C-alpha cells in the first residue's frame, strides 16, 4: 500500500470534518497518516472518531499564530516524522502547514499537494503589510512543485494569483452520516444560528449588529473564540465548543442558518445546514457564493440592511437546499476525484 500523509495545524471545525470524511474513503487503498496540531476546538476523543487504520501523530509545536521559535521546532518535528514514514504522497492543509511543509526538501518521487481552506492573505482585518507578506509567501511557495487543490471554484480563482499549478475539488459532506440526525421536529423553531470560531474571519461584529437590530429574534453562535466579547447583544446565546454530534443534534429545530464570514474556502457548516434544509443567509464572498445561488437555494447579503431586506421579504426557495447538496456535494464523488488526482498527480 502506498503511504499518504496529511499535515494540518488547523485541526478543528470544517477542516477536521473534511479530513474525517476524506481519510475514511482512502484507508482501503492507502496507508494514511495525519500530522496535526491541537486547537481549542480539536475534539478530545479524535482517535475514536477516525477510522482505526488512520495513524494520528501530534505535532507538539504547531501553533495558530506566527511564532518563529515554535514554527522552527514544528518544522523539525514534521521533517523527522516524514523521514520515518517515507510517504509516497504528502498533502498540506491550510496556511501554516502549507508554509512549513512546502519548505521541506522532498524526494522527486514524492507527490505533493496543498489545500488552503481559505487563503490567509484574504484577511481584510490585517494591516496591509501583513497581508502582503502572506501574499508574497504564497507566490514564492507557489513556485514549488506542489499541486494546489482548492476546495471551491472561488478558492481556485484566488489560487491563480499565486500559482500556475492548481485545480479544485469541492468540499463535500457525508450524507449517510448526516441523515441519522434528521428529526421530525427539524426546522420548527425561528432561531437564527451559526457555527464556527469567533474570529475575524467569521466577522462576529456583523453578526452582533444583525442581532442587535432584530431583538425580536433569537440568535445562537455555536463555538467560541478570541472575539467572544463582540457578541454582546442580549438576544445572542454563545454555546462554547461542542462535539460534531452535539452540534448536529442541537441545530435540528433551528430554521435559519447565517454565515457572516469575510472570506471562506468552502464552509462545511453551510453544506451541512443546507442538507438539513435550513434557510441559509450568507455573506457574498469567496466560498459562500460557490454554494448559494441567490434567491434560488439561499440568500446572499453584504450588510445588515441587506440581510434584513432578504430575511423579511423572502419567498419560498426555487430549489430545495437538501436536494442541491445531495446532487452536487457528495462525499463519494469528492473521494473519487481525490483518488484520481493522488494517482495521476494532477
Mean pLDDT of 313-336: 95
Q: What is the pLDDT of residues 265-293, one digit of tens each?
A: 999 999 999 999 999 999 999 999 999 99
Same domain membership, residue 48 and residue 168? yes
Q: What is the mean pLDDT of residues 110-124?
A: 90
Q: Could you report the per-residue pLDDT of 13-70, keeping only the tens digit for each?
A: 899 999 999 999 999 999 999 999 998 888 888 999 999 999 999 999 998 887 889 9
Separation of alpha carbons 159 and 246, rounded Å = 34
Q: Which residues pair with 150 in a beta bridge?
A: 168
46 and 189 together in one domain: no
Report the candidate in 243, 242, 215, 239 with the shortest Cα–Cα distance to residue 228: 239
Q: Do 224 and 285 belong to one domain?
A: yes
Q: How confident is the model at residue 124 (pLDDT cuts 50, 70, 90)?
A: low
> Does the pLDDT of residue 256 top 70, yes or no?
yes
Q: Smallest Cα–Cα separation from 162: which of 120, 212, 105?
A: 120
Q: What angle do CA 95, 96, 101 make, to 5 degrees?
A: 100
Claim to verify: residue 270 and residue 212 sit in the same structural domain: yes
d(Cα 162, Cα 141) in Å, to the nearest integer?
Answer: 8
The predicted model scores a pTM of: 0.91
The mean per-residue pLDDT over the stretch 309-325 comes to 96
DSSP string, 179-231: GGG--TTTT-EEEEEEES--SGGG-HHHHHHHHHT-TTS-EEEEB--TTGGG-
**pLDDT over 90, % of the chain:** 86
CATH assignment at residue 38: 3.40.50.2000
Instruction: Identify the band that residue 125 occupies on the pLDDT scale cut at 50, 70 and 90.
Output: low
What is the per-residue pLDDT for 41? 86
* 168 and 232 both lie in a single domain: no
Is 275 found in the same domain as 262?
Answer: yes
pLDDT computed for residue 284 by the predictor: 97
Tens digits of residue pLDDT in 142-198: 999 999 999 999 999 999 999 999 999 999 999 999 999 998 888 889 999 999 999
**pLDDT confidence band for 131 (50 / 70 / 90):** confident
Q: Of 59-68, 92-101, 185-194, 232-241, which gets the smallest average pLDDT?
A: 59-68
Residue 106 predicted with pLDDT over 90: yes
pLDDT at 87 over 80: yes
Find the mean pLDDT for residues 220-239. 98
The count of structural domains within the chain is 2
Nearest by Cα to 270 from 317, 228, 321, 214: 321
- The Cα-based distances of 27 to 100, 106, 177, 346 in angstroms read 26, 23, 18, 21
pLDDT of residue 319: 96
**207 and 308: one domain?**
yes
| Beta-ladder partners of 112 | 90
**202 and 87 assigned to the same domain:** no
Q: Are residues 238 and 106 in the same domain?
A: no
Cβ–Cβ < 8 Å for 158, 266: no
Q: Are residues 123 and 238 in the same domain?
A: no
Instruction: Say if residue 117's pLDDT is above 70.
Output: yes
Q: Distance (Å, rounded) from C-alpha 187 to C-alpha 253?
A: 5
Mean pLDDT of 96-117: 95
Compute the C-alpha angle 101/102/108, nearest 5°.
Answer: 110
The pLDDT assigned to 179 comes to: 94
Residues spanned by the domain of 124: 2-172+330-344
Question: Are 14 and 129 in a shared domain?
Answer: yes
Is the pLDDT assigned to residue 208 strictly greater than 90?
Answer: yes
Mean residue pLDDT across the chain = 94
Shared domain check, 298 and 149: no
| pLDDT over 70, % of the chain | 99
Amino acid at each position: 500500500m502506498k503511504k499518504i500523509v496529511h499535515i494540518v495545524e488547523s485541526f478543528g471545525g470544517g477542516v477536521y470534518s473534511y479530513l474525517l470524511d476524506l481519510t475514511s474513503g482512502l484507508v482501503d487503498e492507502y496507508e494514511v497518516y495525519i500530522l496535526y496540531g491541537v486547537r481549542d476546538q480539536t475534539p478530545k476523543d479524535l482517535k475514536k472518531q477516525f477510522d482505526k487504520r488512520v495513524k494520528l501523530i501530534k505535532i507538539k509545536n504547531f501553533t495558530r499564530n506566527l511564532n518563529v521559535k515554535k514554527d522552527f521546532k514544528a518544522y523539525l518535528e514534521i521533517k523527522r516524522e516524514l523521514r520515518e514514514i517515507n510517504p509516497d504522497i504528502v498533502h498540506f492543509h491550510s496556511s501554516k502547514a502549507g508554509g512549513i511543509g512546502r519548505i521541506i526538501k522532498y524526494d522527486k518521487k514524492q507527490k505533493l499537494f496543498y489545500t488552503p481552506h481559505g487563503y490567509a492573505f484574504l484577511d481584510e482585518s490585517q494591516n496591509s503589510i501583513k497581508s502582503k507578506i502572506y501574499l508574497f509567501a504564497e507566490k514564492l511557495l507557489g513556485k514549488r512543485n506542489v499541486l494546489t487543490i482548492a476546495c471551491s471554484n472561488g478558492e481556485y480563482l484566488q489560487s491563480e494569483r499565486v500559482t500556475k499549478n492548481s485545480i479544485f475539488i469541492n468540499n463535500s459532506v457525508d450524507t449517510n452520516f448526516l441523515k441519522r440526525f434528521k428529526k421530525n421536529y427539524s426546522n420548527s423553531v425561528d432561531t437564527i444560528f451559526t457555527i464556527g470560531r469567533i474570529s475575524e474571519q467569521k466577522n462576529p461584529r456583523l453578526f452582533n449588529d444583525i442581532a442587535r437590530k432584530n431583538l425580536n429574534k433569537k440568535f445562537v453562535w455555536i463555538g467560541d473564540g478570541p472575539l467572544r466579547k463582540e457578541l454582546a447583544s442580549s438576544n445572542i446565546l454563545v454555546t462554547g465548543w461542542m462535539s460534531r454530534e452535539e452540534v448536529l443534534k442541537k441545530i435540528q429545530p433551528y430554521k435559519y442558518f447565517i454565515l457572516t464570514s469575510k472570506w471562506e474556502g468552502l464552509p462545511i457548516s453551510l453544506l451541512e445546514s443546507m442538507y438539513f434544509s435550513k434557510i441559509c443567509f450568507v455573506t457574498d464572498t469567496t466560498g459562500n457564493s460557490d454554494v448559494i445561488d441567490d434567491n434560488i437555494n439561499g440568500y446572499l447579503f453584504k450588510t445588515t440592511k441587506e440581510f434584513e431586506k432578504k430575511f423579511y421579504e423572502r419567498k419560498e426557495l426555487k430549489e430545495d437546499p437538501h436536494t442541491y447538496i445531495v446532487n452536487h456535494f457528495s462525499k463519494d464523488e469528492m473521494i473519487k476525484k481525490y483518488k484520481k488526482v493522488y494517482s495521476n498527480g494532477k
